[in-house]
Amino acid sequence: MASVTVPLLGHRIEIASEDARVLRLAADAFGAWRQLPGDLVSLSPPARVDIQIQNGGACTELPTQADWRRDGSIFEARAGATRLRVDVAGRAAWCTTDEAALGDADWFGWHVLAPARLLATLDDRLPLHAAGVVLGERAALLVGPSGSGKSTTAYACHRAGLDVLSEDTVFLSRAGTPRLWGYTDRYYLSHDSTRWFPEIVHSPLRQRPNGKLRRAIAAGNIRPRLSVSIEPVVVLIDRSSDVVCEEVSPAEWHDYLARPLESGFDLYEAAWLSAQSQLMTWRAFRVGTRSGPIAAAASIVSLLSPQM
Protein backbone atom coordinates (compact mmCIF):
# COMPACT_ATOMS: atom_id res chain seq x y z
CA MET A 1 0.00 0.00 0.00
CA ALA A 2 1.44 3.38 -1.04
CA SER A 3 1.33 6.49 1.12
CA VAL A 4 2.16 10.18 1.37
CA THR A 5 3.34 11.91 4.55
CA VAL A 6 2.72 15.61 5.22
CA PRO A 7 3.62 17.77 8.26
CA LEU A 8 0.06 18.97 8.78
CA LEU A 9 0.01 21.70 11.44
CA GLY A 10 3.51 20.53 12.34
CA HIS A 11 2.42 16.94 13.04
CA ARG A 12 3.43 14.24 10.57
CA ILE A 13 0.39 12.51 9.09
CA GLU A 14 0.75 9.47 6.82
CA ILE A 15 -2.12 8.93 4.40
CA ALA A 16 -2.18 5.45 2.86
CA SER A 17 -4.29 3.94 0.11
CA GLU A 18 -4.13 1.42 -2.69
CA ASP A 19 -5.74 4.00 -4.99
CA ALA A 20 -3.29 6.49 -6.49
CA ARG A 21 -6.09 9.05 -6.94
CA VAL A 22 -6.49 9.26 -3.17
CA LEU A 23 -2.81 10.06 -2.72
CA ARG A 24 -2.92 12.75 -5.43
CA LEU A 25 -5.91 14.42 -3.79
CA ALA A 26 -4.24 14.26 -0.37
CA ALA A 27 -1.01 15.73 -1.76
CA ASP A 28 -2.98 18.54 -3.43
CA ALA A 29 -4.91 19.31 -0.24
CA PHE A 30 -1.97 19.26 2.17
CA GLY A 31 1.10 19.70 -0.04
CA ALA A 32 1.72 23.31 1.01
CA TRP A 33 2.60 22.07 4.50
CA ARG A 34 5.78 20.55 3.08
CA GLN A 35 7.12 24.12 3.03
CA LEU A 36 6.92 24.26 6.83
CA PRO A 37 10.40 24.81 8.38
CA GLY A 38 11.86 21.60 9.74
CA ASP A 39 12.23 22.95 13.27
CA LEU A 40 8.43 23.28 13.46
CA VAL A 41 7.80 19.63 12.54
CA SER A 42 7.29 17.14 15.37
CA LEU A 43 9.79 14.29 15.61
CA SER A 44 7.09 11.89 16.84
CA PRO A 45 6.19 8.93 14.59
CA PRO A 46 3.49 9.87 12.10
CA ALA A 47 -0.17 9.24 12.75
CA ARG A 48 -1.76 7.16 10.00
CA VAL A 49 -4.95 7.42 7.96
CA ASP A 50 -5.98 4.46 5.77
CA ILE A 51 -8.44 5.25 2.98
CA GLN A 52 -10.20 2.55 0.97
CA ILE A 53 -12.27 3.13 -2.16
CA GLN A 54 -15.19 0.76 -2.60
CA ASN A 55 -15.30 -0.26 -6.24
CA GLY A 56 -18.40 -1.27 -8.14
CA GLY A 57 -22.00 -0.21 -7.83
CA ALA A 58 -23.54 3.13 -8.63
CA CYS A 59 -21.94 6.29 -7.31
CA THR A 60 -23.93 7.75 -4.45
CA GLU A 61 -24.97 11.37 -4.03
CA LEU A 62 -22.61 13.36 -1.84
CA PRO A 63 -24.31 14.74 1.30
CA THR A 64 -23.48 18.19 2.64
CA GLN A 65 -22.91 17.16 6.26
CA ALA A 66 -21.17 14.40 8.19
CA ASP A 67 -22.64 13.20 11.47
CA TRP A 68 -19.76 12.99 13.98
CA ARG A 69 -20.03 11.16 17.31
CA ARG A 70 -17.47 10.76 20.08
CA ASP A 71 -17.03 7.92 22.56
CA GLY A 72 -13.95 8.57 24.69
CA SER A 73 -10.93 8.56 22.37
CA ILE A 74 -12.93 7.19 19.41
CA PHE A 75 -14.53 9.53 16.86
CA GLU A 76 -16.89 8.13 14.23
CA ALA A 77 -18.83 9.73 11.40
CA ARG A 78 -20.75 8.92 8.27
CA ALA A 79 -21.62 11.01 5.24
CA GLY A 80 -23.57 8.99 2.70
CA ALA A 81 -21.41 6.06 1.60
CA THR A 82 -18.39 7.47 3.47
CA ARG A 83 -17.53 5.93 6.84
CA LEU A 84 -14.89 7.47 9.11
CA ARG A 85 -13.31 6.21 12.34
CA VAL A 86 -10.53 7.91 14.31
CA ASP A 87 -8.73 6.31 17.25
CA VAL A 88 -7.07 9.27 18.93
CA ALA A 89 -5.24 7.19 21.52
CA GLY A 90 -3.89 4.87 18.83
CA ARG A 91 -3.10 7.79 16.48
CA ALA A 92 -4.78 5.99 13.60
CA ALA A 93 -7.84 6.47 11.41
CA TRP A 94 -9.75 4.56 8.75
CA CYS A 95 -12.05 5.70 5.99
CA THR A 96 -14.09 3.88 3.34
CA THR A 97 -15.77 5.82 0.57
CA ASP A 98 -16.87 5.39 -3.03
CA GLU A 99 -16.01 6.74 -6.47
CA ALA A 100 -18.28 9.77 -6.10
CA ALA A 101 -15.98 11.29 -3.46
CA LEU A 102 -13.03 11.13 -5.85
CA GLY A 103 -14.87 13.30 -8.35
CA ASP A 104 -15.23 16.30 -6.04
CA ALA A 105 -11.91 17.52 -4.65
CA ASP A 106 -13.54 20.02 -2.27
CA TRP A 107 -15.85 17.38 -0.80
CA PHE A 108 -13.00 14.87 -0.56
CA GLY A 109 -10.80 17.36 1.27
CA TRP A 110 -13.56 18.47 3.61
CA HIS A 111 -14.92 15.04 4.57
CA VAL A 112 -12.64 12.15 3.54
CA LEU A 113 -9.50 13.93 4.79
CA ALA A 114 -11.21 15.11 7.98
CA PRO A 115 -9.56 12.31 10.04
CA ALA A 116 -6.12 13.64 9.06
CA ARG A 117 -7.02 17.08 10.38
CA LEU A 118 -8.56 15.58 13.50
CA LEU A 119 -5.40 13.63 14.30
CA ALA A 120 -3.29 16.74 13.69
CA THR A 121 -5.38 18.97 15.95
CA LEU A 122 -5.70 16.88 19.11
CA ASP A 123 -2.13 17.55 20.31
CA ASP A 124 -2.02 21.26 21.21
CA ARG A 125 -3.66 22.48 18.01
CA LEU A 126 -6.98 24.02 19.06
CA PRO A 127 -9.16 25.06 16.10
CA LEU A 128 -10.55 28.57 16.42
CA HIS A 129 -13.46 29.66 14.24
CA ALA A 130 -11.62 32.71 12.95
CA ALA A 131 -9.75 34.11 10.00
CA GLY A 132 -6.13 34.97 10.67
CA VAL A 133 -4.21 37.89 9.14
CA VAL A 134 -0.60 38.97 9.72
CA LEU A 135 1.25 42.24 9.19
CA GLY A 136 4.95 41.94 9.92
CA GLU A 137 5.21 40.60 13.46
CA ARG A 138 1.62 41.39 14.45
CA ALA A 139 -1.46 39.25 13.90
CA ALA A 140 -5.23 39.54 14.24
CA LEU A 141 -7.90 36.90 14.56
CA LEU A 142 -11.13 37.92 12.83
CA VAL A 143 -13.99 36.29 14.72
CA GLY A 144 -17.72 36.13 14.26
CA PRO A 145 -20.44 33.56 13.65
CA SER A 146 -20.90 31.89 10.26
CA GLY A 147 -22.02 34.47 7.72
CA SER A 148 -20.54 37.44 9.59
CA GLY A 149 -18.03 38.20 6.84
CA LYS A 150 -14.75 36.69 8.08
CA SER A 151 -13.76 35.33 4.67
CA THR A 152 -14.74 38.52 2.84
CA THR A 153 -12.80 40.68 5.28
CA ALA A 154 -9.81 38.33 5.10
CA TYR A 155 -9.82 38.65 1.30
CA ALA A 156 -9.94 42.45 1.61
CA CYS A 157 -6.96 42.24 3.99
CA HIS A 158 -5.15 40.09 1.40
CA ARG A 159 -5.78 42.77 -1.24
CA ALA A 160 -4.42 45.36 1.22
CA GLY A 161 -1.11 43.49 1.47
CA LEU A 162 -1.54 41.43 4.63
CA ASP A 163 -0.58 37.77 4.85
CA VAL A 164 -3.57 35.52 5.47
CA LEU A 165 -3.11 32.40 7.58
CA SER A 166 -6.65 31.22 7.02
CA GLU A 167 -10.01 32.56 5.88
CA ASP A 168 -12.11 30.53 8.33
CA THR A 169 -10.18 28.40 10.85
CA VAL A 170 -6.94 29.16 12.70
CA PHE A 171 -5.26 26.62 14.97
CA LEU A 172 -3.72 27.64 18.28
CA SER A 173 -0.79 26.04 20.10
CA ARG A 174 -1.07 27.14 23.71
CA ALA A 175 2.21 25.90 25.20
CA GLY A 176 4.68 28.74 25.78
CA THR A 177 4.30 31.74 23.49
CA PRO A 178 1.08 31.28 21.49
CA ARG A 179 1.64 29.93 18.00
CA LEU A 180 -0.95 30.23 15.24
CA TRP A 181 -1.24 27.79 12.35
CA GLY A 182 -3.25 27.97 9.15
CA TYR A 183 -3.31 27.78 5.40
CA THR A 184 -5.73 28.80 2.69
CA ASP A 185 -5.39 28.13 -1.02
CA ARG A 186 -8.76 29.72 -1.91
CA TYR A 187 -11.14 32.32 -0.62
CA TYR A 188 -14.80 31.38 -0.77
CA LEU A 189 -16.89 34.53 -0.98
CA SER A 190 -20.62 35.11 -1.34
CA HIS A 191 -21.69 35.52 -4.95
CA ASP A 192 -22.59 39.21 -4.41
CA SER A 193 -19.07 40.10 -3.25
CA THR A 194 -18.44 41.40 -6.78
CA ARG A 195 -19.91 44.74 -5.69
CA TRP A 196 -16.79 45.20 -3.56
CA PHE A 197 -14.34 43.22 -5.66
CA PRO A 198 -15.15 43.53 -9.37
CA GLU A 199 -12.04 41.52 -10.28
CA ILE A 200 -13.71 38.31 -9.06
CA VAL A 201 -16.70 38.56 -11.39
CA HIS A 202 -15.38 35.68 -13.52
CA SER A 203 -14.37 33.50 -10.57
CA PRO A 204 -16.33 30.24 -10.63
CA LEU A 205 -19.31 29.65 -8.39
CA ARG A 206 -18.92 26.44 -6.43
CA GLN A 207 -21.15 24.66 -4.00
CA ARG A 208 -19.24 24.14 -0.79
CA PRO A 209 -19.51 20.78 0.94
CA ASN A 210 -21.79 22.47 3.50
CA GLY A 211 -24.23 23.30 0.71
CA LYS A 212 -23.45 27.03 0.42
CA LEU A 213 -22.77 28.53 -3.01
CA ARG A 214 -19.58 30.59 -3.07
CA ARG A 215 -17.19 32.24 -5.50
CA ALA A 216 -13.82 30.49 -5.38
CA ILE A 217 -10.81 32.83 -5.69
CA ALA A 218 -7.29 31.38 -5.78
CA ALA A 219 -5.13 32.76 -3.00
CA GLY A 220 -1.93 32.63 -5.05
CA ASN A 221 0.25 31.87 -2.02
CA ILE A 222 3.58 30.73 -3.48
CA ARG A 223 5.22 30.78 -0.05
CA PRO A 224 2.46 30.90 2.59
CA ARG A 225 3.24 31.83 6.20
CA LEU A 226 1.63 28.62 7.62
CA SER A 227 2.64 29.43 11.21
CA VAL A 228 3.56 32.46 13.33
CA SER A 229 4.60 32.68 16.99
CA ILE A 230 2.65 35.80 17.94
CA GLU A 231 0.12 36.71 20.62
CA PRO A 232 -2.66 38.13 18.43
CA VAL A 233 -5.27 40.77 18.92
CA VAL A 234 -8.88 39.80 18.32
CA VAL A 235 -11.21 41.61 15.91
CA LEU A 236 -14.94 41.04 16.35
CA ILE A 237 -16.53 41.43 12.92
CA ASP A 238 -19.80 43.35 13.29
CA ARG A 239 -21.97 43.48 10.16
CA SER A 240 -24.48 45.80 11.80
CA SER A 241 -21.99 48.53 12.67
CA ASP A 242 -19.95 51.27 11.00
CA VAL A 243 -17.47 51.35 13.87
CA VAL A 244 -13.98 51.96 12.49
CA CYS A 245 -12.20 50.27 15.39
CA GLU A 246 -12.97 50.31 19.10
CA GLU A 247 -11.64 48.21 21.95
CA VAL A 248 -14.29 46.07 23.61
CA SER A 249 -14.52 45.51 27.34
CA PRO A 250 -13.29 42.28 28.94
CA ALA A 251 -16.92 41.53 29.89
CA GLU A 252 -18.06 41.73 26.25
CA TRP A 253 -15.13 39.58 25.08
CA HIS A 254 -15.98 37.06 27.81
CA ASP A 255 -19.61 36.99 26.67
CA TYR A 256 -18.50 36.27 23.12
CA LEU A 257 -16.28 33.39 24.27
CA ALA A 258 -19.21 31.95 26.25
CA ARG A 259 -21.34 31.52 23.11
CA PRO A 260 -22.15 27.92 22.09
CA LEU A 261 -19.60 26.41 19.72
CA GLU A 262 -20.69 25.83 16.15
CA SER A 263 -20.88 22.37 14.62
CA GLY A 264 -17.47 20.72 14.24
CA PHE A 265 -15.82 23.06 16.73
CA ASP A 266 -17.96 21.51 19.49
CA LEU A 267 -15.81 18.36 19.22
CA TYR A 268 -13.13 20.38 21.05
CA GLU A 269 -15.34 21.76 23.80
CA ALA A 270 -13.15 20.60 26.70
CA ALA A 271 -9.99 22.10 25.17
CA TRP A 272 -11.91 25.27 24.30
CA LEU A 273 -13.10 25.74 27.88
CA SER A 274 -9.60 25.21 29.28
CA ALA A 275 -8.20 27.78 26.81
CA GLN A 276 -10.61 30.58 27.66
CA SER A 277 -8.53 32.01 30.50
CA GLN A 278 -5.63 32.43 28.07
CA LEU A 279 -7.83 33.91 25.36
CA MET A 280 -9.20 36.44 27.85
CA THR A 281 -5.71 37.96 28.15
CA TRP A 282 -5.80 39.00 24.48
CA ARG A 283 -6.99 42.49 23.58
CA ALA A 284 -10.22 42.50 21.61
CA PHE A 285 -11.58 45.15 19.23
CA ARG A 286 -14.74 45.64 17.21
CA VAL A 287 -14.63 46.55 13.53
CA GLY A 288 -17.84 47.25 11.65
CA THR A 289 -18.34 46.04 8.08
CA ARG A 290 -21.62 47.77 7.21
CA SER A 291 -19.63 50.22 5.07
CA GLY A 292 -17.94 47.30 3.32
CA PRO A 293 -14.98 44.97 3.76
CA ILE A 294 -12.44 47.30 2.14
CA ALA A 295 -13.00 49.93 4.83
CA ALA A 296 -12.88 47.21 7.49
CA ALA A 297 -9.56 45.95 6.12
CA ALA A 298 -8.12 49.46 6.28
CA SER A 299 -9.10 49.59 9.97
CA ILE A 300 -7.37 46.26 10.60
CA VAL A 301 -4.22 47.42 8.80
CA SER A 302 -4.16 50.50 11.03
CA LEU A 303 -4.71 48.33 14.12
CA LEU A 304 -1.74 46.12 13.23
CA SER A 305 0.57 48.96 12.20
CA PRO A 306 3.60 49.44 14.53
CA GLN A 307 2.41 52.78 15.88
CA MET A 308 -0.63 51.17 17.52
Query: What pLDDT score was predicted for residue 209?
Result: 66
Query: What pLDDT score was predicted for residue 220?
Result: 76
**Whether residue 114 is found in the same domain as residue 170:** no
**End position of a domain, from candidates 68, 92, 121:** 121
N-to-C CA span, the chain = 54
pTM score of the predicted model = 0.93
Low-confidence ranges of the chain (pLDDT < 50): none
**End position of a domain, from candidates 87, 121, 155:** 121
Residue-number span of the structural domain to which 48 is assigned:
2-121
**Whether residue 106 is found in the same domain as residue 50:** yes
**Whether residue 282 is found in the same domain as residue 227:** yes
Q: What is the CATH number of the domain that holds 232?
A: 3.40.50
Query: What pLDDT score was predicted for residue 120?
Result: 95
Q: In which element (H, E) is residue 257 found?
A: helix 250-257
Query: What pLDDT score was predicted for residue 56?
Result: 61
Cα 84 to Cα 95: distance, rounded to the nearest angstrom: 5
**Whether residue 113 is found in the same domain as residue 147:** no
**Whether residue 254 is found in the same domain as residue 218:** yes
